[in-house]
Structure 1
């Protein structure tokens, strides 16, 4: 499947059945045990990123691009801390939901702007670019191009997460225990950390902080890379 096809599948999924499923996972309403486990894992990843950024003590007024913002799980807490946030997602429905949630949590006049576009169409320069739980939808060759584009927008720092490619997780994936439901419809790609690090280094970035979230059904490797 080529890049255009992968993007089409992802966009169509998150504008249809996937939207309702993941809106509930990223929300507060009752979900099944697998979805609850994924909700907790995703929140742990968001919390780790927020802890890193708050520890630096310079979030207020910082320009941040949340690439693949979903329903605003990261964009909203970033804005609550005073960051100037640009959130983008390939799904129009996800962006609309993020916009509505931002109005609830921050009021109608807030410091987030949202748009619906694929990752490689995002333009501009930002102090920090963040991309969580997006690369899992794309194979290595597409992920490499996407990471390079994210690097081109990041003036200082890039934070991204991916499903690490290990033997154990590959086995779990094959027997259907890593990702929920027979109707998930999107492919789940794992990436070797050495490949991700190499792409970052080729774009002039070096690893500063690392994290790993592991629950029963959610596995996410988190890397912070800085320019220079």
Structure 2
């Protein structure tokens, strides 16, 4: 089963399970992604991926033939990614939250700062993930601005990373509260915001976002909109349910989430990626079934109004907009 990612980059949005509209694709202005020529199966990833994708190349993963699914399943059944995850947690003296914080405050910070940034010092996989994450941010902004101007609208950017969404929101006039579990990420986001939101040519500078180092469970306040992109991948569904409920409690009108979708195919790719974790440890990766996310929202009185799928060769993310039912 050779994998070639001829997946669409269009993001169809649906209202009540019927086709509604399609976001226009937009390429990054600085880079053009050349087609991948490798026939190997890549690890599943999101912008918050657990795989050390910088180590992936055409010789890293053996080819999987079209009749090898059963054999592959047998091999995967003998692997124990949970054991590696337990060891990671023991090393930092905690669970998922501590692993995520430790990773993004240390080795993960430089890796993802580079991927989220504009440097040319990225490989094809990292560039592809940058493109995928950029599409997620772009289409989140489209979801938000479709409802009207953002001037004065309060937005909580939960898991802001280096400010990829925070800064565009501020430029549109939103009053943004941005937070991340990683102090290093928050510091970088604040630095980028000060540089990019500075007034020039007699213009009035946008309001500076409020930056805080907080995990999702510690967030408080009330906001018109809460956005949480590419964060749920770090947490199993049992914990994600509580986080989704908490985020919904902070939002007055809208909650926008992106997560790595759990399907048989994507789960298989993820398990293959776990066979080749690379030389450096990363965070754990959890996929979430859209039905489970929808069920978690329904329990707290919310429903999905729009939904879409962002795919590149190494990036897969389901994007949903929920509103009070």
Smaller-chain TM-score bracket: over 0.9
**Alignment partner, residue 46 of structure 1:** 137
Alpha-carbon separation, structure 2, partners of 1:55 and 1:156: 14
Alpha-carbon separation, structure 2, partners of 1:122 and 1:182: 34
1:123 maps onto 2:220 in alignment: yes
Alpha-carbon separation, structure 1, partners of 2:98 and 2:183: 13
Shift of 1:183: 2.5
What is the RMSD of the two structures over their aligned residues, measured on CA atoms?
A: 1.8
Shift of 1:227: 1.2
TM-score by length of 2: 0.67
Shift of 1:181: 4.8
**Alignment partner, residue 207 of structure 1:** 304
Runs of 4 or more above 4 Å deviation: 179-182
Q: Does the 8 Å contact 1:65/1:86 carry over to 2? A: yes
**Alignment partner, residue 78 of structure 1:** 169
**Alignment partner, residue 124 of structure 2:** 33
Counterparts of 1:88-99 in structure 2 under 5 Å? 88-99=179-190
Deviation string, structure 1 residues 30-80 (Cα, Å, up to 9, x no partner): 211111010000000000011111111131110000000000000000000
The SS at the match of 1:59 is coil
Counterparts of 1:142-181 in structure 2 under 5 Å? 142-176=239-273, 181=278
The SS at the match of 1:61 is coil
1:6 maps onto 2:116 in alignment: no
Residues 1:221 and 1:180: Cα distance change in structure 2 (over 3 Å): farther
1:15 maps onto 2:105 in alignment: yes
Equivalences, count: 227
Deviation string, structure 1 residues 138-193 (Cα, Å, up to 9, x no partner): 1111111110110110111100011000011111111118x985525211100011
Indicate the larger mover: 74-83 or 108-117. Answer: 108-117
Q: Does the 8 Å contact 1:83/1:111 carry over to 2? A: no
Counterparts of 1:63-74 in structure 2 under 5 Å? 63-74=154-165
Q: Does the 8 Å contact 1:34/1:180 carry over to 2? A: no
Residue segments in structure 2 that go unaligned for 5+ positions in a row: 1-85, 200-204
Q: Does the 8 Å contact 2:115/2:130 carry over to 1? A: yes
Q: Does the 8 Å contact 2:193/2:208 carry over to 1? A: no
Alpha-carbon separation, structure 2, partners of 1:152 and 1:52: 20
Which protein has the bigger helix share? Answer: 1
Larger Rg: 2
Q: Does the 8 Å contact 2:149/2:172 carry over to 1? A: no
Alpha-carbon separation, structure 2, partners of 1:56 and 1:28: 30
